[in-house]
Amino acid sequence: MLLRQEPWPDAWVLGAETVEVCMSFVVRRGRLGRLVSCASAIALLAAAPASLAQAPLWQNGPPASASQGVPREHLAVVEGAGGLYDGPVAAYVSQVGARVARAAGRSGCAFHVLNSDVVNAFTSPPGCHVYVTRGLLTLINTEDELASVLGHEVGHVAANHAGRRQQRSVVTGIGALVLGALTRSANVAQIASQAGQLSVLSYSRQQEFEADGLGVRYLAQGGYSPYGLVDMLGALQREDQFDAARRGRQGQETAAWARTHPLTGDRIARALQSARQAGPPPTDATAAAGRDAYLRQIDGMLYGDDPEQGFVEDRRFTHPVLRIGFEAPSGFTLTNGATAVGIEGPEGAKGQFSAGSLSGDLERYAYDVLRRTVGQAPAQLGASERTRIGGFDAVVLPARAQSGSRVLDVVVAAYADGSGRAYHFVTLSPAGRAQIWDPVIGSLHRLSPQELAAAQPKRVEVVVVRPGDTVQTLSQRMAFDDYRLERFLMINGLQPADPLRPGQPVKLVTTSRRGR
């Protein structure tokens, strides 16, 4: 495609006083599963129309979390992670958290559940606010384990780890470190030089060990088993091993010194030593009672993607509320999020699917998305093309931009749904390879009745083992096409040869309509 040089219209250029904020998660896996540099708006693909900047992708209006006790400083992180998950599960987590906080001698702590399937927990100043995700709650099997997570996070607050780091935007946690950067400079890479980064990682590792030790102390003082943290770290280790096997990462573990948080095995050994010093392990009867109590509380909890944010299944995205979907060919992967669907393709290609309000011309909307994507970088714009795709009026706008030493093809494909909403893809690929995105861009469509019927949310369903049930037979009831046995064992903390006793409660993931 012949590209022509064209300046941005003056009305669309960001003002000189614009300050960009980049908030990045480092998590173990999931929708926010890698460190994102703030170095380039092009590389990030983080820009979106202004109407999307303050709220989750598929919602309108102010963030719901603003009226639910979340500090203003946390709103962007909370809403970016899916918002809050309310109801009986959240009330239960707050109840356990209050007991842990009393044991720690802390007042004014608040405990929140995030509507995210990422396995994660974190805390952040100001004050004492602890966040856990639905994904982590699915992995937990006893109230002792839940209390250990909350105690660990309260330990970060009690030890003033954020203050000792002397970074206003530090968020510490079992599975994550959230770094906020506020800068006018595009050369943010200098901030994360290798020497500086390794220094931060080492310091964080010591913080994690300290928070683990405090968490074990709070467990014992609060009447919980001090072995809860040992069990919790073991569950995290099993989940990480399962995820590594599923994604083909066997044998590619990162060295302990290069991790934001220490290897789970290292922490288990230390936590076990602390637990032995704090008290005896729970009896079988006590452990069973704690498991039963916890599982009753999460029975019916949403699992995986929230239908309000759509579903990703393999290389297919469907949104039953908006009744739209698209599919990527082999070699691509999709990652669902609260504000966008991330897409990765061959040859380092990256893309994003998002949405916004459409109050004017669709071509102007596409230019606005492109302008916000490339920022102030010089760009060669190609001729826009108006077309019809999947029953939608569409505009495809190509460009070529420079990102450091790389020349990238950038394409925005925008679609009008006829009701004041627009959808769009933003894609990046090596120069001359933009066509690899054609199947994705051409696949957006309105869902058929059959697709709508198949797009059912998954939930945690607690069932009672009956005579003759085995891990093999029960795992066949899991609502997955693959790894049913492995998933069943992972979320229940079981081994393949473990016997099941009649009357024992276990977790399944099903498409049951019961919800909490």
What are 479-500's pLDDT values in tens digits? 998 899 999 999 999 988 888 9
Last residue of a domain, one of 302, 333, 357: 302
Q: Does residue 329 fall inside a structural domain?
A: yes
387 domain residue, yes or no: yes
Asked if 296 and 330 sit in the same domain, the reply is no
Answer yes or no: do 242 and 101 share one domain. Answer: yes
Domain finish residue from 235, 269, 302: 302
Q: 109 pLDDT exceeds 90?
A: yes
Q: Are 424 and 355 in contact (CB under 8 A)?
A: yes
Q: Which of 298, 296, 301, 334 is nearest to 315 (CA)?
A: 334
What CA–CA distance (Å, rounded) separates 276 from 279? 6
In a domain? residue 73: no
Among the three residues 418, 452, 486, which one is the final residue of a domain in this structure?
Answer: 452
User: Across residues 373-382, what is the average pLDDT?
Assistant: 83
Structure tokens belonging to residue 247: 């994604």
Q: Yes or no: say if 360 and 422 are a contact pair by the CB < 8 Å rule.
A: no
Q: Are residues 427 and 490 in the same domain?
A: no
Same domain, 118 and 239: yes
pLDDT at 362: 96
Q: Tell me the residue range of the domain where 437 lies.
A: 307-452
Q: What is the pLDDT of residues 177-198, one digit of tens each?
A: 222 222 222 222 222 223 333 3
Distance CA 282, CA 289 (A): 10
Q: How many independent structural domains does the chain possess?
A: 3
Q: Which domain CATH number covers 444?
A: 3.40.1000.10
Q: What is the pLDDT of residue 14?
A: 23
For range 115-128, the mean pLDDT: 86
Residue 46 confidence (pLDDT)? 35
Does 60 have pLDDT greater than 80?
Answer: no
Q: What is the pLDDT of residue 253?
A: 45
Q: Indicate if 318 and 273 belong to the same structural domain.
A: no
Position with higher pLDDT, 473 vs 453: 473
Q: What amino acid occupies position 122?
A: F
Q: What is the pLDDT of residue 484?
A: 95
pLDDT, residue 127, reads 86
pLDDT computed for residue 267 by the predictor: 81
Give the separation between CA 226 and CA 479, rounded to whole angstroms.
Answer: 34
Interval 341-359 mean pLDDT: 92
Q: Which residues pair with 382 in a beta bridge?
A: 3
% of the chain beyond a pLDDT of 90: 48
Distances 351 to 326, 332, 440 between C-alpha atoms, Å: 13, 10, 10
Give the residue among 239, 11, 211, 15 at the shortest CA–CA distance from 135.
239
What does pTM read for this prediction?
Answer: 0.73
Band (355; pLDDT cuts 50, 70, 90): very high
pLDDT at 15: 25
Say what angle helices 228-246 and 194-221 make with each other, to 10 degrees: 140
pLDDT digit string, tens, across residues 227-278? 999 999 999 888 888 887 876 644 444 433 334 445 567 888 989 999 999 9
Q: State percent of the chain over pLDDT 70.
A: 74
pLDDT at residue 27 is higher than 70: no
Strand spans (E) along 90-183: 110-114, 121-124, 129-133, 176-183
C-alpha distance from residue 354 to each of 47, 419, 425 (Å): 10, 16, 7
pLDDT at 245: 80
Residue that has been written with the tokens 């999020």 in this structure: 337
Q: In this predicted structure, what is the pLDDT of residue 405?
A: 80
Lowest-pLDDT choice from 58-67, 122-131, 190-199:
190-199
The answer to whether residues 252 and 323 belong to one domain is no
Residues 312, 281 share a domain: no
| pLDDT score, position 243 | 82
Q: Does the pLDDT at position 356 exceed 70?
A: yes
Q: Based on the domain organization, do 348 and 401 belong to the same domain?
A: yes
In a domain, 69, yes or no: no
Do 180 and 244 lie in a common domain?
yes
Assess whether pLDDT exceeds 70 at residue 376.
Answer: yes
When pLDDT is cut at 50, 70 and 90, the band that residue 18 belongs to is very low
Measure the N-to-C terminal CA separation of the chain; round to a whole number of Å. Answer: 52
Give domain status of residue 290, yes or no: yes
- For every residue of 331-369, DSSP letters joined together read T-EEEE-SS-EEEE-GGG-EEEEEEEE--S-HHHHHHHH
In a domain, 225, yes or no: yes
Res. 119 pLDDT band, cuts 50 70 90: confident
Mean per-residue pLDDT over the chain, rounded? 77
Same domain, 132 and 269: yes
Nearest Cα neighbor of 128 from 77, 162, 86, 176 is 162
Statement to judge: residues 209 and 316 lie in one domain: no
Shared domain for 271 and 333, answered yes or no, is no
Whether residue 46 lies inside any domain: the answer is no
Q: Using an 8 Å Cβ cutoff, are 138 and 461 in contact? A: no
More confident call, 374 vs 225: 225
Is there a domain that residue 12 lies in?
Answer: no
Q: Which of 235, 139, 192, 179 lies closest to 21, judged by CA?
A: 179
Which two tokens mark 98?
A: 């209050």
